Amino acid sequence: MRIAGWGGTTRQDCRVTRPRSEAELAQRVAEGGLIARGAGRAYGDAAQSALNTVDMGGFNRMLAFDAETGQLVSEAGVRLADVIAAFLPRGWFPAVTPGTKHVTIGGMVAADVHGKNHHRDGSFGAFVDWIDLMGADGRVRRLTRLDNDEMFGWTLGGMGLTGVILRVAFRLRRVDSGWIRQKTIAAPNLTRAMEAFEANQAATYSVAWIDCLARGAATGRSIVMLGEHARAEELPAERRRAPFATPKRRRLTVPLDAPGFALNGLTVRAFNALYYRQGAKKAGDSLVDWDAYFYPLDAIHGWNRIYGRRGFVQFQCALPLATAESGLGELLAAISAAGQGSFLAVLKRFGPQQGRISFPMEGYTLALDFPLHAGTRALLEKLDRITVARGGRFYLAKDSRMTPHTLRKADKRMAEFAAMRDAQGLAEAFSSTQSERLAL
């Protein structure tokens, strides 16, 4: 069966099975070279393995909920969208959510995803109480923070390479409504954008769309968006009676892959300039429903196809606070000079990060996507070099093309991770096309 990551550049013929029980899954584990696949939303080759890809769709049940603590126990294949559908009407929302709701809980653990509240609350892992993991011997173990062997920490962000994540206990947060009070700030350059983040550390959510093609004095101009869960009394009177009811969104579908010429330097530059001007006009306060606020791209079904058949690659790095401004400046200069911008460039302030191998670090993260062109790889390698020189690191959930050398230079923890996998007998049992490429 031909499968690929969300970026569409890693198509590969893989044997995909869909076990229905732990016993069946244990048989697959015994075969070795296994990787679990959730919703296939990692951008690259993280959830594909030629001989042994396991579709976790057969494990998709919610098992228990504690309304005192907000702890939900669910199987790994449950989708975040289903959690929201079940619990938002009862006043609960995921404590951390990535930019799409079409991910599985197992995938959220494997990538230790972050959201717009990372600066305050940390990554998804901060809200995970325990993980049931099937190890190389086919036995299931409940991992917690208190375990001596750090397997809990290695599993959060471990890209499914420590075992098969079966069940997860994680906490939801109480909310009063399905609405977000959004405050939009137009920042005319990078310095002002970063000032806006620093001045709004107390905001629950903050994220910026950044124009990665603007040049000169406008380099790094951004639309910074802050958000707070609206309390019931902050809603207009007509919404107060049903605070969790939000309008059904019109769903657009990208029916087929766009031709290559649809996206080129000119159209992207024009789009970015227009987006900035529109955003600047809307500066101020507004009320936005949860779906539009957290998941704007989910409204466009198959948005990844907008980049055409050849697909696109994502680049996401984190830079430490001390070098963030100069490093971001260099990254933007390189992108603008190459004339290869993306529609969806995102800048975000990260807060402190717990964990053994999770991606975030206190500082700033920049995420970009590029349609795959002849010059793209050279540009990406340049961005890699800038990131490494500035002490930054890379997000494996987005990666489809890095070299093991770059990864190890950027992230000392990766060599320890690989050594741990060898020592624990995990390297043969669990592997993905990505882990083989990166020698993890």
Partner 1 sequence: MTKGAVLILGGRSDIGLAIAHAFAAEGHPIWLAARGVETLAENRADLALRYGVEVSLVEFDALDTGGHGAFLDGLPALPEVAVCAVGLLGEQAQDEKTPAQAIRVMRTNFEGPAAILAELANRFEARGSGAIVGISSVAGERGRATNYIYGAAKAGFTAYLSGLRNRLARAGVQVLTVLPGFVATRMTAELDLPAKLTAQPDEVGRAVVRAVKTKRNVIYVKPIWQLVMAVIRAIPEPIFMRMKL
262 scored as a contact of partner 1 (CB under 8 A): no
Cβ–Cβ under 8 Å, residues 315 and 383 = yes
Nearer to partner 1, 64 or 199 (CB): 64
Structural tokens at position 327:
């490093």
Q: Which one of the spans 81-89, 306-314, 329-337, 366-374 is the region binding partner 1 (CB under 8 A)?
A: 81-89
Nearer to partner 1, 73 or 136 (CB): 73
Give the other-Cβ count within 10 Å of 38's Cβ: 28
| HEC per residue, the chain | CEECCCCCCCCEECCEECCCCHHHHHHHHHHCCEEEECCCCCCCCCCCCCCCEEEHHHCCCEEEEECCCCEEEEECCCEHHHHHHHHHHHCEEECCCCCCCCCEHHHHHHCCCCCCCHHHHCCHHHHEEEEEEECCCCCEEEECCCCCCCHHHHHCCCCCCCCEEEEEEEEEEECCCCEEEEEEEEECCHHHHHHHHHHCCCCCEEEEEECCCCCHHHCCCEEEEEEEECCHHHCCHHHHCCCCCCCCCCCEECCCCCCHHHCCHHHHHHHHHHHHHHHHHCCEEEEEEHHHHHCHHHHEECHHHHHCCCCEEEEEEEEEHHHHHHHHHHHHHHHHHHCCCCCCCEEEEECCCCCCCCCCCCEEEEEEEEECCCCHHHHHHHHHHHHHHCCCEECCCCCCCCCHHHHHHHCCHHHHHHHHHHHCCHHHHECCHHHHHCCC
Q: Output the smallest distance, CB 297 to partner 1, in A.
A: 23
Task: Measure the CA–CA gap between 86 and 64, rounded to whole angstroms.
Answer: 12
Q: Output the smallest distance, CB 60 to partner 1, in A.
A: 8
Nearer to partner 1, 19 or 125 (CB): 19
Q: Output the smallest distance, CB 389 to partner 1, in A.
A: 48
Q: Count residues contacting partner 1 (CB under 8 A)? A: 14
242 scored as a contact of partner 1 (CB under 8 A): no
Nearer to partner 1, 52 or 400 (CB): 52
Nearer to partner 1, 73 or 159 (CB): 73
Q: Which one of the spans 83-91, 191-199, 243-251, 317-325 is the region binding partner 1 (CB under 8 A)?
A: 83-91
16, 26, 50, 86: which one binds partner 1 (CB under 8 A): 86
274 scored as a contact of partner 1 (CB under 8 A): no
90 scored as a contact of partner 1 (CB under 8 A): yes
Nearer to partner 1, 75 or 289 (CB): 75
Nearer to partner 1, 60 or 424 (CB): 60
Nearer to partner 1, 73 or 386 (CB): 73
Q: Output the smallest distance, CB 166 to partner 1, in A.
A: 11
Q: Output the smallest distance, CB 63 to partner 1, in A.
A: 5
Cβ–Cβ under 8 Å, residues 287 and 181 = yes
Q: Output the smallest distance, CB 156 to partner 1, in A.
A: 24
Q: Output the smallest distance, CB 108 to partner 1, in A.
A: 18
Q: Which one of the spans 80-88, 111-119, 193-201, 315-323 is the region binding partner 1 (CB under 8 A)?
A: 80-88
Q: Output the smallest distance, CB 73 to partner 1, in A.
A: 9
Nearer to partner 1, 175 or 230 (CB): 175
Q: Output the smallest distance, CB 379 to partner 1, in A.
A: 37
Nearer to partner 1, 42 or 166 (CB): 166
Cβ–Cβ under 8 Å, residues 276 and 220 = no
Angle subtended at Cα 259 by Cα 256 and Cα 265, rounded to the nearest 5 degrees? 130
Cβ–Cβ under 8 Å, residues 106 and 56 = yes
45, 55, 75, 289: which one binds partner 1 (CB under 8 A): 75
Residues 325-364 that bind partner 1 (CB under 8 A): none
Q: Output the smallest distance, CB 22 to partner 1, in A.
A: 11
Nearer to partner 1, 90 or 142 (CB): 90
82 scored as a contact of partner 1 (CB under 8 A): yes
- Please give the C-alpha separations between residue 186 and each of 18, 201, 210, 366, in angstroms, as whole numbers: 47, 17, 10, 18
Q: Output the smallest distance, CB 327 to partner 1, in A.
A: 45
- Kindly tell me the burial class for residue 234, based on how many C-beta atoms sit within 10 Å of its own C-beta (0-12, 13-18, 19 or more): middle
Nearer to partner 1, 86 or 439 (CB): 86
Q: Output the smallest distance, CB 199 to partner 1, in A.
A: 41
65 scored as a contact of partner 1 (CB under 8 A): yes
Residues 5-64 that bind partner 1 (CB under 8 A): 18, 20, 60-64
Which residues contribute to the site for partner 1 (CB under 8 A)? 18, 20, 60-65, 72, 75, 82, 85-86, 90
